[in-house]
Structure 1
Amino acid sequence: MNIYDIDTDEHLVPFEPSRERVRIEVGATVRSDKQNYQIVQLLDLQNVVGIEVESGRSVSLRISELEPVEQERVDGLYVNYDISTISSDEWAIAQQRFSAIKPLLRDSVLPRNSVEERAKEVGVDAATLYRWLDRYQSWHEVLALVPRKRGWQSGNSRLSAQADDLIGAVIEEHYLTTQRRSIQSTIKEIETQAKALGLTPPSASAIRTRIKRIPEKVVLRRRGFADEARNRFTPSVGKFPGADYPLAVVQIDHTPIDLIIVDDRHRKPIGRLWLTLAIDVHSRMITGYYLALEDPSEISVGMCLAHSILPKESWLNLHNVRGEWPVWGFPRTVHTDNGPDFQAENFRRSCSNYNIENQFRPVKRPKYGGHIERLLGTFMRELHELPGTTHSSVPDRAGYDSDKHAALTMSEFEEWLVKTIIIYHNRVHSGIYMPPARKWHLGFFGSRGVDALVSVPPRPADPLTVQLDFMPSYRRTVQHYGVQLDVYYYSEALRHWIGTTDPATGQARKFVFRRDPRDISVIWFYDPVLKQYFRVPVANQAFPAATLWEFRAAKKQAVDEGRQHIDEALIGRLILERRQIVNDASASTKKARRDAQKHKVHTKNITPARPVKERVEAVPSLLTGEGQLLDDVDLIGDIQ
């Protein structure tokens, strides 16, 4: 069996990341059922009224079905890149530029003198600061501020400098005025002035693109809607410092739940689960969670935040819950403790690219995590009503056998958890004197005589891009056998990069790979030229789908047993043997049942970006029906 013959069409289908967002704002253009609409009214967090651009017909649109109008791709700009491909020096420059413009992003009104004053403070021209602002506000990524490639011209535009200046001047003096002239009128004015100057008139599409890139709050302010701009884009001051509006501060923390659960097969106790929970401090809404049998890690934090950011409609369907969980969007600040899982470099970089600030709780100052602590306490009290509870203290457990009374499986508990979250959102909260769902709604829509605090957050258009951003990343070289990351991986997508060197250093070139430790049968390769991801499977297709924890346990067993040649075939066989032992012992030992349940949970491969039910698939095996090792598998080499 040759490793170059194992590829399938599935692994050659590229995935192009996109961090586009669907703007849920009056005046925004969105796409639904292959038609473009302009939003004219926000009804609630489920529906808007849109006018079809071509026909002028008004229709009610479901927010969950809206898509962004595709942005024009700009070559040479570092947007939608994998964050780990950016060098530390380039990233430092991008962050420095973002720090320069960050104070200006908070204002709904941006007078020129404010920009000029800030430009003097940071030591750059006002035009440069405007250019950085334009780049960031067009793409909402700090990556857009990474220095462009050498030799690439500003804007990559076919317009001459004179034509470009003319467009800017007419937009400033003709379009952005209280006269509220139309875009078509602006195009005609530019054409007239261009001819008078002896210039070739810019195309209408180029002019429309420039107008579309102007931040909406600037358009509202300059065209005479100052009050609306202020109400929709300027947050009000609240009681909790920093948590003045929805998604201003999201707190995340882990806890073992006070409940013994049972396995799916024998319905016998297997211990407690770990819950990672995220809460919006302003409204007390739960924005996301992650439930696991393993101890908290970087993947726990990443999946919880991804779940927090992404819409929840499909997640409710997955768990058969009828209700509403209208929470999505990128938080301004993520507030956590100082654990290494929250300090991971990839997690912090990805947060920074989305303009999410990481704040860490002062050491030994638990009151700074009070909101999430109280929420977790509330959920633990709810749990104490369930069979199998461990209660919260030894006196409370006196005379109660948690293992004996345990009754819920992990999936049954998760369904209970989601339903409880919905109930909690609609129950009066003693700290805010109203249900969290009501507080959340008021933050975006206000009430009679009370202005809204902020606009409805844009929805991420591509869930998988968000999830990949928060998955652990690695840098590896590509060799003739593919790439090694614990095991060996190969795909035709890697062939072009075999043995390549970095032109800047002359050293072997390293590429970015991302992997979910819950399934090491595949990794994601980021092609630095195509700017696309490819799924790369294990080179030895007989290797079973396994978690990183299973792999490490099997490898440790091989080392402890003094095996001479520790390769993938051996480790794969040990993984399957260990699973068989676990299955045989699961009727009698809690640890075996827990391990068996872990395997079952991970084979479902349900993630925030892929909330679908389990599919029944054949699992590759290293063993034949007679228990013999397959003899047609080429071994690539020893495991390092």
Structure 2
Amino acid sequence: MKKMKKGQALLWRGVQCTYQASLTPDKVQVYLADESRYEVVPIGELTPIRIEALEKPEKPDALVASEEAWQQARLRFDQVVRYLQGARDKSALSLLAKKMNVSEPRAYQIVQKYDEDEGPSCMLSSRRGRKVGATLVLSSVESVIREAIKTEWKGPGTTHRKVWKRVRELCVTAGYPVPSVNTVTARINLLGEREKERRRSGSKSTNDTFQARPGVNRRTTPLAVLEMDHCVVDCIIVDETTRRPLCRPWATIIIDRCTRIVMGFYLSIHHPDSFSVAMAITHATLTKDNWLSLLGDEDLDYPYYGVPEKICMDNAKEFVSKVLKRAAEKHRIKLAWRPFGKPWYGGTIERLNGTLNMSYIHFLPGTTLSDVKLRGEYDSSKESCLTFSEFRLWFSRCIQQYHNEKHRILGMTPHEKWMECFSEGGKLSHPALVDDAKGFALDFMPEKRRVVSRDGVSLNSFKYWCPALSPYICPGKRRVVKYNPNALKVVWVQVDGGRYIETPFADLTIPDLSISERKIAIGQLKEKSEYQGASRAQRQSLVIRQSAKNRDLVAGAQKSTKRMRKAVENAQQTKFSESVSAIRPAERSQPGESGMDYTKPPKKFEVDL
């Protein structure tokens, strides 16, 4: 029977102490050496520790010992126990040595190994030879090997021989003996497979191979959790005017984790930004009747919509913006971000991106495939033929096809899963509609804060004015101004009560243009003297004129840069986005449509005084 021994190391409230005596059935006396005092404590507050175990050499593992070695250890343990219970004199030790078939000094060593707590394992013989980790290489050479491993064992092309060559070079320079390749290989193997893979292929590949991911995303209701992400499409498109290769479009996609329905998406020529996020969320949340009618395909069907409870995404700049957080909080949508460097937390959307590329997009003309090896001699730019409008229609059909194909995880199609979730007892139901669709969409739009002054609102070097803003002129108060970076002709000023007032250019003769077109025009004009010495109004006029020239240049298929063609194409495609969006501006006649010539001063009328 094991009992507590005087001097046994214990832990009490995080303080190391030793057992002295038992005072009552539930209390003992301990000695706190650091404080040089005794203390009476409840037995339940004590935790045993074994400091001496840290000082003992590593012992053999009973689980890996052979059956013969284990039987011998048990026999010796029983013999030592009987010896310790006896007289412990010289004759008893001689008898013990005879039973064990060893010398008396060896028998004494075996007795010293006895550990009541450890049991027969203490009698297992230690492995002969050099201990694990012991080396015969000079410490100076070991230092050189460590340095070579640190600098050379990295990247996909690394090899053991590459590291050894670096070791040889350093050792010859320092005058040290050169270790063998096997010695260097053994030191590399001490890193462990995980660390070797991390240095060779990076954290992502290492996590994919070694990291445990036992969790499963299980959601029983639609719209409970949505995942959103950007991806660049593996296909090159051409511009509408010249049919020359333009770029790979971007897609911002939102998928429902429960039904695997693609709730909404936004395709763009420009790199994803806060506007892409706003358009994707709006498309996912609102009904899509107007969008379907403008696509012009009667076979397309997209009955999925609804306000989500939670949206998961990565840590891209546009996903952590204050605008998105505030809009989501206003509409009671929870936002969740993945831990850095752990893309599998968004496994549903990542898998969808791979499915769309591998099963659909890689069969399009102009596809770039996944990498250079797969592409081979295929010229993606030369074979590209789809315009952005054509690709948008094709992509919409692709999503519908995906919705009606059996999903491996669901065991049915995503559409069937959606219908199952919204059917109960043969009765069909629908998600709730958004009360104010336009207000919902504008809440997620990019914004800036501006003052409503007597001459209107200034934004992106343009003036905006609407008579409805008159009651809200206040030089000391900044208001939220929502805008579309791809169509600057109108902004939306938020006034009291959260209501938005649509506000066009103060000068109605100014044609619509995008921020990217404006930046290109300014870059082209900066070096010109007429721009340097011009006033603010004159500069604005020059920028508008230069943007018009750029559009004419692209339309004429002359020497125009790809950046310029992308800006013009983006501005043209914005017309479709505006037409299907809840934030589409009110119809206004463009300059020239009314029959008036705005370049001439107004005609003076005679007034009777």
TM-score computed with the length of structure 2 as normaliser = 0.57
Does 1:511 pair with 2:486? no
Report deviation, 1:253.
0.6
Question: 1:497 corresponds to which letter in structure 2?
Answer: Y
Q: Which residue of 2 aligns with 1:369?
A: 346
Question: 1:485 corresponds to which letter in structure 2?
Answer: L
> Identity percentage over the alignment?
32
Pairwise CA RMSD of aligned residues? Answer: 3.1
Please state whether the residue corresponding to 1:417 is helix, strand or coil. helix
Q: 2:506 aligns with which of 539, 546, 556?
A: 539
Does 1:564 pair with 2:528? no
Does 1:471 pair with 2:445? yes
The structure-2 alpha-carbon separation of the partners of 1:455 and 1:300, relative to structure 1 and needing over 3 Å to count, comes to same
Q: 1:575 aligns with which of 533, 547, 550?
A: 547
Query: Does the 8 Å contact 1:266/1:587 carry over to 2?
Result: no
Q: 1:528 aligns with which of 496, 505, 523?
A: 496
Q: Which residue of 2 aligns with 1:342?
A: 319
Query: Does the 8 Å contact 1:303/1:608 carry over to 2?
Result: no
Query: Does the 8 Å contact 2:241/2:555 carry over to 1?
Result: no
Does 1:259 pair with 2:235? yes
1:283-336 Cα deviation digits (max 9, x unpaired): 110000000110000000110000000112322222123243221111111000
Question: 1:492 corresponds to which letter in structure 2?
Answer: P
Matches of 2:542 and 2:572, distance apart in 1: 22
Q: Which residue of 1 aligns with 2:292?
A: 316
Matches of 1:294 and 1:254, distance apart in 2: 12
Q: 2:471 aligns with which of 496, 499, 516?
A: 496
Report deviation, 1:534.
2.1
1:122-521 residue pairs with structure 2 within 5 A? 240-241=216-217, 243-321=219-297, 322-381=299-358, 382-446=360-424, 456-486=430-460, 487-498=462-473, 500=474, 508-521=476-489
Query: Does the 8 Å contact 1:482/1:490 carry over to 2?
Result: yes
Query: Does the 8 Å contact 1:303/1:607 carry over to 2?
Result: no
Matches of 2:378 and 2:408, distance apart in 1: 31
Matches of 1:414 and 1:587, distance apart in 2: 27
Please state whether the residue corresponding to 2:484 is helix, strand or coil. coil
Question: 1:570 corresponds to which letter in structure 2?
Answer: L
Please state whether the residue corresponding to 1:270 is helix, strand or coil. strand
Report deviation, 1:404.
1.4
The structure-2 alpha-carbon separation of the partners of 1:620 and 1:242, relative to structure 1 and needing over 3 Å to count, comes to farther
Matches of 2:302 and 2:309, distance apart in 1: 20
The structure-2 alpha-carbon separation of the partners of 1:471 and 1:608, relative to structure 1 and needing over 3 Å to count, comes to farther
The structure-2 alpha-carbon separation of the partners of 1:259 and 1:582, relative to structure 1 and needing over 3 Å to count, comes to same
1:322-354 Cα deviation digits (max 9, x unpaired): 243221111111000001101111111111111
Matches of 2:580 and 2:441, distance apart in 1: 7
Query: Does the 8 Å contact 2:259/2:418 carry over to 1?
Result: yes
Please state whether the residue corresponding to 1:369 is helix, strand or coil. helix
Report deviation, 1:495.
2.3
Please state whether the residue corresponding to 1:515 is helix, strand or coil. strand
Matches of 1:480 and 1:620, distance apart in 2: 28
Please state whether the residue corresponding to 1:396 is helix, strand or coil. helix
Report deviation, 1:251.
0.6
Report deviation, 1:396.
1.3
Matches of 1:617 and 1:411, distance apart in 2: 25
1:80-91 residue pairs with structure 2 within 5 A? none
Please state whether the residue corresponding to 1:346 is helix, strand or coil. helix
The structure-2 alpha-carbon separation of the partners of 1:516 and 1:430, relative to structure 1 and needing over 3 Å to count, comes to same
Report deviation, 1:393.
1.0
Matches of 2:502 and 2:592, distance apart in 1: 18
Please state whether the residue corresponding to 1:459 is helix, strand or coil. coil
Matches of 2:419 and 2:400, distance apart in 1: 15
Q: Which residue of 2 aligns with 1:600?
A: 572
Report deviation, 1:431.
1.6
Question: 2:313 corresponds to which letter in structure 1?
Answer: T
Please state whether the residue corresponding to 2:487 is helix, strand or coil. coil
Q: Which segments of 5 or more consecutive residues in structure 2 lack a partner in the other structure?
A: 1-214, 603-609
1:208-253 Cα deviation digits (max 9, x unpaired): xxxxxxxxxxxxxxxxxxxxxxxxxxxxxxx944633101111111
Report deviation, 1:580.
2.7
Matches of 2:511 and 2:576, distance apart in 1: 14
The structure-2 alpha-carbon separation of the partners of 1:617 and 1:256, relative to structure 1 and needing over 3 Å to count, comes to farther
Please state whether the residue corresponding to 2:240 is helix, strand or coil. coil
Answer 1 or 2: higher relative contact order, Cα 8 Å, separation at least 6: 1
Q: Which residue of 1 aligns with 2:152?
A: none
Matches of 1:616 and 1:598, distance apart in 2: 21
Question: 1:357 corresponds to which letter in structure 2?
Answer: K
TM-score computed with the length of structure 1 as normaliser = 0.55
Question: 1:512 corresponds to which letter in structure 2?
Answer: V
Q: Which residue of 2 aligns with 1:219?
A: none
Matches of 2:507 and 2:312, distance apart in 1: 42
Report how many residues are paired: 378
Report deviation, 1:612.
9.2
The structure-2 alpha-carbon separation of the partners of 1:582 and 1:387, relative to structure 1 and needing over 3 Å to count, comes to same
Question: 2:438 corresponds to which letter in structure 1?
Answer: L
Matches of 1:556 and 1:587, distance apart in 2: 17
Query: Does the 8 Å contact 1:391/1:397 carry over to 2?
Result: yes
Matches of 1:424 and 1:612, distance apart in 2: 29
Query: Does the 8 Å contact 1:335/1:359 carry over to 2?
Result: yes
1:57-113 Cα deviation digits (max 9, x unpaired): xxxxxxxxxxxxxxxxxxxxxxxxxxxxxxxxxxxxxxxxxxxxxxxxxxxxxxxxx
Query: Does the 8 Å contact 1:467/1:608 carry over to 2?
Result: no
Query: Does the 8 Å contact 2:482/2:491 carry over to 1?
Result: yes
